[in-house]
Amino acid sequence: MLRQLHVALRTGIVTEPAPRDADVERLGVRLGDELRRVFGRSLAIRHVDAGSCNACELEIAALTGPHYDLERFGLHIVASPRHADCLLVTGPVTRNMAEALLRTWEATPHPKLVIAVGDCARDGGIFRGSYAIVGGVGDVVPVDAVVPGCPPSPVAILAGILDVIGRLY
Amino acid sequence: MITDVVLALAQALVGAAGAPLLAGVLRTLKARLMGRRGPSPWQPYADLRKLLRKEAVVSTTTSWVFRVTPYVLVATMLVAIVVVPVVASRTALPFAGIILLMYLFLLGTFFLALAGLDSGSAFGGMGSSREVAVAALAEPTVILAVFALALRADTTTLGGIVERFAREPLLAANPGHLLAFAAFFIVMLAETGRLPVDNPATHLELTMIHEAMVLEYSGRYLALVEWAAAMKLFVFLTLLANLFFPWGVPDIVEPVPVLLGLLALAGKLAVLTVALAGLETIIAKLRLFRVPELLAGSFALALLSVTAVFLVP
């Protein structure tokens, strides 16, 4: 156990520098000043899998690790939509998950954001037109921003969230 | 009288305003030990500010218990902060002992367990049953560990114990004192929902204890619940710092000694916080069914420490 502490102390901080403005694609969606003041320093994220293949989940999971570390921006992932300010929705919305997604959205207190992550969440992606899906996330709940990619890289997701809350300058 | 009122207000202010910082520093330290940059130590204040500005969604199946619980939690914790010797061995309620303090904690736990059941969510009820089981096992240890000190100091009031040990440091040079400290430290982990009993950072509903009960809270209610949880951590760490190591705790209430007492408290809390962050980095969460073994172990330590009062003069 002490060896673990020793390793932790010797390794130091491995978090990479924050994504810079020039490196990432801007989503072009900005919150109003009031919301930016509220969410700029603290944003609780609830991830909703609406029928994803789990590729986007892997990229989101990487955000919580030491390399991308979303906590340093005051973002954190929470376990309940009641605690959340932002829903991070992945995958095309399958018929079985449409109701669940809508209820999650209703359970989230105002003011709230919805960010659709990945091409499937944008418009159904490769599943577009399938009888098994309702469509993109925007067909079920109002979407504030879309992070494109299949799957989008962790940096792109991080930059997308930071762009929406106005932390990317 | 005036002194007592000022002292009570000062303690409440220090505890209520400082508790989120304590929780934030702990989170930052743990992140650093994991190799992450981590949130700023001031992050809990930003979270609380945001939550207070948000709407509160309350399930239509809940009763008044759900809405009243956050206020009960904050109220009991504020009283607990006034009862504990924070900056001086004298407190505004000099008669207050560990029994009053323990039942203040349990009042909050009782209401939180009811609130967990109230919304009818499966996870809330599971969290409540776990919390009550842990509380029932931890309660006798808290009381017994402090009784070991009380027997040695010939008083059950918290202020009296601190004053006696501050005046006669040699009283603490006893194996019973260390045993009581170890027992109290373990129940502190259980009572405040830290590893290895509960994981404050978990997102997995199946492993939650405290978090499971507050899953249904939102907006200002959640802010109050989180604030109360931070204050509970503050009260327990302050008890560990001042009761077991009462060095630098003044026995007179005057501005300069009280400020020095505050500095001493900050130093002791810093040491305890670093130790807690290090401990949480190197240990894993215990399987739920092994938690009673840990708490039984701490009870045995507390019992031994009481025995030591009579065996070792």
Structural domain boundaries in chain B: 2-311
pLDDT at B188 over 70: yes
Contact by Cβ (8 Å): B115, B78: no
Spatial distance between the Cα atoms of A120 and A168, rounded to a whole number of angstroms? 25
Q: Do B33 and A82 touch (CB under 8 A)?
A: no
pLDDT of residue B89: 79
Residue in chain A nearest B56 by alpha carbon = A109
Residues B48-64: pLDDT tens digits? 999 998 888 888 888 99
Q: Which amino acid is at B223?
A: A
pLDDT at A87: 94
How far, in Å, CA of B34 to CA of B256, rounded? 40
Q: Residue B255 and residue B61: Cα distance in Å, rounded?
A: 51
**For chain B, the helix, strand and coil percentages under 3-state DSSP, each to the nearest 5:** 75, 0, 25
User: From CA A51, how far away is CA A49, in angstroms rounded?
Assistant: 6
Task: Specify the length of chain A in residues.
Answer: 169
Sketch out chain A's domains with CATH numbers.
32-164 (3.40.50.12280)
Determine the pLDDT at residue A3. 82
- Report CB contact under 8 Å: A38, B218: no
Whole-number pLDDT of residue B163: 86
What pLDDT was estimated at residue A8?
80
Q: In what order do the strands lie in the sheet with A75-77?
A: A75-77, A43-49, A86-90, A113-117, A145-147
Average pLDDT over residues B173-186: 89
- Which stretches of chain A are DSSP H helices? 2-11, 33-39, 55-63, 95-107, 119-123, 154-164
pLDDT at A96 over 70: yes
Instruction: State yes or no: pLDDT of B293 exceeds 70.
Output: yes
Does residue A7 belong to the interface with chain B, where contact is any CB pair within 8 Å?
Answer: no
Nearest CA in chain B to A4: B282
pLDDT greater than 70 at residue A25: no
Beta bridge partners of A147: A117
- With CA atoms as reference, the chain A residue closest to B283 would be A1
Residue percentage of chain A with pLDDT more than 70 = 91
* Minimal Cβ distance to B35: which of A66, A80, A85: A66
> Do B11 and B87 meet the contact criterion of CB atoms below 8 Å apart?
yes
In this model, does residue B270 exceed pLDDT 70?
yes
Q: Judge contact between B149 and B307, C-beta under 8 A.
A: no
Residue range B93-111: mean pLDDT, rounded: 89
Strand partners, A146: A116
Q: How far are the Cα atoms of B14, B25, B209 from residue B28, in angstroms, in the given order?
A: 21, 5, 22
More confident residue, A133 or B173: A133
B33 chain-A contacts, CB cut-off 8 A: 5, 8-9
The token pair at A76 is 């954190």
Q: Which two tokens stand for residue B219?
A: 């907006």
What pLDDT score was predicted for residue B181? 92
ipTM > 0.90 for the complex: no
Tokens linked to B105: 């904690």
CA gyration radius for chain A? 17
Query: Is pLDDT of B313 > 70?
Result: no
Task: Work out how many CB contacts closer than 8 A connect A with B.
Answer: 98
pLDDT at A32 over 80: no
Out of A160-169, B30-39, B64-73, B214-223, least confident range: A160-169
- pLDDT per residue as tens digits for the range B130-153: 999 999 999 999 999 999 888 888
> CB-CB: which of B47, B215, B282 is closest to A5?
B282
Residue A31: pLDDT band (50, 70, 90) is low
3-state secondary structure of B114: helix
How does the average pLDDT of chain B come out, rounded?
A: 89
pTM of the model: 0.92
The sign of the CA dihedral B73, B74, B80, B83 is negative
Which range is least confidently modeled, A11-20, B23-32, B119-128, B298-307?
A11-20
